[in-house]
A = this chain, B = another copy of it.
């Protein structure tokens, strides 16, 4: 059986990772979501165990001590982490797992899971990124400036990923990511079984 794909989608803050990932999950029922844990305050409408596991700082530190995280990072004063428990197990069962993760976190995962698929989302321009972060309405002027400055540095890190997708429209970005997933399923190294065809000479009886 083919091992599942670990699909890691990342990009600078405000690039639209969340919206793109939701659409991928809606369109591809065979892909399951990996839920992150965080110590940040839930935004309006966010539900514990759905968008995130919302933990206190003490709870988060306990999970770190119990080595429950594939990776974790502190971003803007809050902790974010990816629970390791279940991910490898699910991949080995042939399930495809989608991971939405910040830029720093994704590179940590890449070291541990080099056969994952690392996709970097880009905004069409920095102007557009600024507009999107402002539009979210959850940033102070200071945190907006910090996010934008950080975005410039983060975009450089994108060169270490496998794929880059410009999120000009959700439809385009999602279509490209679906193509990437379909293509990765065709990689020769993920399909050693398919070549055993050539050794099953008995299929042809005595014809040669």
Which of A's residues lie within 8 Å of B, judged by CB? Answer: 119-120, 122-123, 125-127, 130, 145, 148-149, 151-156, 158-166, 175-176, 178-180, 182-184, 186-188, 191-192, 194-195, 197-201, 203-204, 207-208
Contact A187 B163 (CB under 8 A): yes
Residue numbers in B under 8 Å from A192 (CB-CB): 159
A191 in contact with B164 given A155-B198, A183-B180 (CB within 8 Å): yes
Cβ 8 A contact of A198, one of B153, B184, B198, B204: B153
Known: A182-B176, A187-B162. A197 touches B122 (CB 8 A): yes
A195 close to B155 (CB less than 8 A): yes
List, in ascending order, chain B residues with CB within 8 A of A162's CB. Answer: 187-188
Q: Nearest chain B CB to A120's CB is how many angstroms away?
A: 7
Given A122-B197, A160-B188, list of 6 further CB < 8 A pairs? Answer: A122-B195, A125-B203, A126-B201, A159-B188, A175-B182, A183-B184
Q: Which residues of B contact A180 (CB under 8 A)?
A: 179, 182-183, 186
The CA-CA distance from A11 to B156 in the complex, in Å, is 39
What chain B residues lie within 8 Å of A159 (beta carbons)? Answer: 188, 192, 195
16 contacts between A and B (CB under 8 A): A119-B186, A148-B207, A151-B198, A155-B197, A155-B198, A156-B195, A156-B198, A156-B199, A158-B198, A163-B186, A164-B191, A164-B194, A175-B182, A176-B182, A178-B179, A179-B182
CA–CA, A194 to B11, complex, Å? 13
